[in-house]
Chain A
């Protein structure tokens, strides 16, 4: 197994990084801060989200450390509230939402569709500045003493009963929201308007399709979050009463408006991950993605259904039984397109020549973990089970299986897969395989016990618990430690590889996408001459034919 590999590197003695590329096109920090190049902006995003991922991860570590013992001994109860709140806010708004779209999407979408840049390069830069500006607000909220509403800003808790920095955090999320709106807007326009000749919709790589679907959700969902947060901030500062029952307002209205964005938001987070998995599955199975159009349309279907299911977050909040029934049914429907994807990826592997490089390991981890996460979502979508399991560790485990086991694994798969393209150098293979396996084991050890804890009735968001839950909690904390190493290793060896990694050449994976046919790292203008697409996506025969021709030409 380990001998079989598709990696095809140039001769390391003679190979060099191309003299002209987007990294050394201009020098100086200002040339990065004022760049309009989508690739450089992607790198800016990559650095910032990695930083905030480590911040959010630190909060998670402290949470798990506190839960090692049943007694509250590490932190006070309100500090614990702040820890899980800041973990949620940082991870969701500063890491998960922008993670794949703003980094890999930003870097790859223009190249994949064969154009020189996104449609609005300056708005792309603006979106990074908005992200940083919002992140400064959120960091200020953390440094000044934190916020403890939970990431959901639940009213009236957030508007009346807390003395923490709700307004600062709310404004931060508001601003970061606009950054994601602008990213989504840019992607939609680019994908509609800038495709290379011959690049029809059904020749687009599936990564582009899934980012397109996520962008639609960003553009249509995020403004509702924005107005909701504006109302929360106004309610808190001048007491307008829209969510205040004593003045005739309705706290449930807040829940409706908040989840109208925040449910589609989980699809904003996971859909780009689906795209990465499609690319990786195809490349390392040497086969076209099985059921290309089914996978493409299921992304769109998930985006569409995503707007019809939000009230399943509110089953225990007093929504009407009738509408809960409808929302429950619609929730089940989302499982259909998700299952279509999982089945199609599995069939992509069938009779393929599978190799197990790191991106593939992460992708396989994704499929298993996402399936568990998705199926437990169906449990939670059914009304009776939801009453029992919501607000317990079961739901914590469920969304971590989707968000960490799904999204983060997909992000790491994509990062390793396109690292040679981003930097021109390979990551070290064996240690990264080790880290993929480590994080898979660590992840399951962390969150599988939480399913059991939740089923047994341990509520979420408490820093102390009955002693009989301690064994499972210790397992979970041990797993979190392993997981922490699993996530720290890539940070270190990827940094190492920037200088010492093997030179990758144009197409180390022998993959078919347009991005692999240009030099790595790419030129600022991506293509010397505009490409013309004359074959389907994932056409390995075309690639073999092309390679053959090159060999004969050179020979």
Chain B
């Protein structure tokens, strides 16, 4: 533990990362891939895939969301602290969904 010298920005901490500037090249790449994925999700909706339709739709949305978070929102270059924070948010969201759903699903077995 770095205890004895001054470290106001917590430079030695896992909570810290260097400020990273992302150039327009990366952004254009991300932008194009987001547009392609949007097209893909619309196209997929018109194909009958049964149960896979909603799974695919949500899956593509997750990929898009992750790309936005990682690059547009710079999380890919951020400290572990920020990464952990974002994960914690989605984890709590999933707790809300799954724990509540577990009640509704086990109340009507087989109907879900």
Contacts and interface: CB of A to CB of B under 8 A. Distances in A.
Given A320-B106, A322-B102, A322-B106, 10 more contacts: A192-B15, A197-B3, A198-B3, A198-B4, A220-B92, A256-B103, A260-B100, A319-B103, A320-B103, A534-B4
Contact of B102 (A192, A193, A220, A323): A323
A200 interface: yes
Interface string A276-319: 00000000000000000000000000000001101100000001
Interface string A229-267: 000000000000000000000000000100010000000
Contacts of B100: 256, 260
A193 B106 contact: no
Interface in B64-112: 81, 88-89, 92, 95-96, 99-100, 102-104, 106-107
* Chain A facing B: main interface SS: helix
30 contacts: A192-B15, A192-B81, A193-B15, A195-B10, A197-B4, A197-B5, A197-B7, A198-B4, A200-B1, A200-B3, A220-B88, A220-B92, A224-B96, A260-B96, A307-B92, A310-B99, A311-B99, A311-B103, A319-B103, A320-B104, A320-B106, A320-B107, A321-B106, A323-B99, A323-B102, A323-B107, A326-B102, A532-B6, A533-B3, A534-B4
Question: What 4 pairs across the A-B complex have the smallest Cβ distances?
Answer: A320-B107, A322-B106, A320-B106, A323-B103
Given A197-B8, A322-B106, A308 B99 contact: yes
B5 A308 contact: no
Most buried by A among B5, B100, B103: B103
Contacts of B81: 192
Contact of B10 (A193, A198, A323): A193
Contacts of B3: 197-198, 200, 533-534
Contacts of B89: 220
A532 B5 CA distance: 9
A310 B98 CA distance: 13
Interface residues of B, number: 22
Nearest to B85: A188
Nearest to B6: A197
Interface residues of A, number: 23
A456 to B, nearest CB: 32
B52 to A, nearest CB: 27
B15 to A, nearest CB: 6
Contacts of A307: 92, 95
Contact of B95 (A195, A198, A308): A308
A320 B95 CA distance: 18
B93 to A, nearest CB: 9
A319 B102 CA distance: 10
Contacts of B92: 220, 307
Contact of A323 (B6, B88, B106): B106
B105 to A, nearest CB: 8
A260 B100 CA distance: 9
Contacts of A319: 103, 107
A197 B4 CA distance: 7
Interface string B1-40: 1011111101000010000000000000000000000000
A260 B81 CA distance: 25
A198 B10 CA distance: 10
A232 to B, nearest CB: 17
A319 B96 CA distance: 15
A307 B7 CA distance: 35
B100 to A, nearest CB: 5
Contacts of A200: 1, 3
Contacts of A197: 3-8
A504 B15 CA distance: 39
A213 B81 CA distance: 16
Nearest to A264: B92
B99 to A, nearest CB: 6
B103 to A, nearest CB: 4
Contacts of B107: 319-320, 323
Contacts of B88: 220
B2 to A, nearest CB: 8
Contacts of A310: 99
Interface string B40-71: 00000000000000000000000000000000
A320 B99 CA distance: 12
A38 B102 CA distance: 43
Interface in A307-347: 307-308, 310-311, 319-323, 326
Contacts of A322: 102, 106
Contacts of A532: 4, 6
Nearest to B104: A320
Contacts of A220: 88-89, 92
B1 to A, nearest CB: 5
Interface in A157-209: 192-193, 195, 197-198, 200
Contacts of B10: 193, 195
Contacts of B7: 197
A320 B102 CA distance: 9
Contacts of B96: 224, 260
A256 B1 CA distance: 43
Nearest to B4: A198
A84 to B, nearest CB: 28
A216 to B, nearest CB: 8
Interface string A495-535: 00000000000000000000000000000000000001110
Contacts of A533: 3
Contacts of A198: 3-4
Contacts of B99: 308, 310-311, 323
Nearest to A325: B106
A534 B99 CA distance: 45
A114 B103 CA distance: 46
A427 B102 CA distance: 53
A220 to B, nearest CB: 5
Nearest to A202: B1
Nearest to B16: A193
A200 B100 CA distance: 38
